[in-house]
Structure 1
């Protein structure tokens, strides 16, 4: 009997430890959606206010790419019938980032945008890599794995901005 109880305890501990790294799908979906919303909004702002042509082109690319990623994300959410309400506005962190970008002086705008893009894409790469490895929905994990190389490329491009 003791051996049986010990085996059950070990199994429960193993399951508990294994599930600690699992990323909840609704949390990932909300994070990805807010990030995409920020990218599109910041991109529109930078396309209009950017000082260098490189920043303006990158910004337009971010608007297009993240609008497409959002559409794909919504498609997966609908197809998988994931119980999550997609955000309709930015969270406080991303709202402050847009405010900082809007308030940046003309001479500092490109640098502010570039810094934000590097930080935002580092966070996105981490979130997508984490979910692709330990998410709890196989179709959403495949989506995260598919988008991850795109985000990594955006990060590399953001690091090269003036």
Structure 2
């Protein structure tokens, strides 16, 4: 009887051990699968989070750059007085920068154009003065602060470098002036100023075209 039970007991223990190993392996496999799924979900969430952070206004690392602000953009003047003061400043900016390059020995076309600027912008101020006097507006007789700083920079230059810098500035200045005149012509109700703008605008446009061709 004892000899019969002993083999049966051994078989039972062997089966139990095998079942336990199978259960442990299944548990381990399930645990590994769960861990892998968790890791996959974490990576997907992390990637999604990075994309969200980028799209939430963080442009660090973006390859697209914001376009530069238009250097010739101008805001319309609120009043006729502001426009007249601005126009007089503009004349002085061109007159005095042109005199600067002439004093420093500008030659050729740069010299010719600078002489033209002095002549034409002196006449522009002369045309504006009686209108301003009639309206009780005192016109400025000097450059604005921005162009005083530009003049200081240009004083450090000479020769072709100075002439090139002067031409670049004339293009910017005349485009700004043209924009301002066109904007104010649609705003002002003053017939005298409309007549002044209509007279001076073609001259400013001609200066702009001339300096743009000279730069090319």
What range is the shorter-chain TM-score in? 0.7 to 0.9
Alignment map for 1:12-161 (pairs within 5 Å): 23-78=78-133, 81-161=134-214
CA distance in 2, matches of 1:51, 1:146: 29
Q: 1:97-147 CA distances to partner (integer Å, 9 max, x unpaired)? A: 211222223341011000000000001101111112212422112211211
Contact conserved, 1:50 with 1:109, CA < 8 A, in 2?
no
Contact conserved, 2:85 with 2:140, CA < 8 A, in 1?
yes
Report the TM-score when normalising by structure 2.
0.60
Q: 1:28-57 CA distances to partner (integer Å, 9 max, x unpaired)? A: 001000110111111112223354310000
Which 5+ residue runs of structure 2 have no aligned equivalent?
Answer: 1-75
CA distance in 1, matches of 2:187, 2:140: 23
State the match for 2:71 in structure 1.
Answer: none
Shift of 1:152: 0.3
Q: Which runs of 4+ in 1 moved over 3 A?
A: none
Shift of 1:22: 7.4
Instruction: Give the direction of change, closer, same or farther, for the CA distance of 1:90–1:51 in structure 2 (3 Å limit).
Output: closer
Instruction: Give the direction of change, closer, same or farther, for the CA distance of 1:60–1:22 in structure 2 (3 Å limit).
Output: closer
Q: Report the 3-state secondary structure (helix = DSSP H, G, I; strand = E; otherwise coil) of the residue aligned with 1:135.
A: coil
Larger deviation, residues 97-106 vs 55-64: 97-106
Report the TM-score when normalising by structure 1.
0.79
Contact conserved, 1:36 with 1:66, CA < 8 A, in 2?
yes
Larger deviation, residues 24-33 vs 89-98: 89-98
CA distance in 1, matches of 2:182, 2:195: 11
Q: Report the 3-state secondary structure (helix = DSSP H, G, I; strand = E; otherwise coil) of the residue aligned with 2:135.
A: coil
Q: Report the 3-state secondary structure (helix = DSSP H, G, I; strand = E; otherwise coil) of the residue aligned with 1:160.
A: helix
Root-mean-square deviation over aligned CA pairs: 1.7
Q: Greater Rg, structure 1 or structure 2?
A: 2
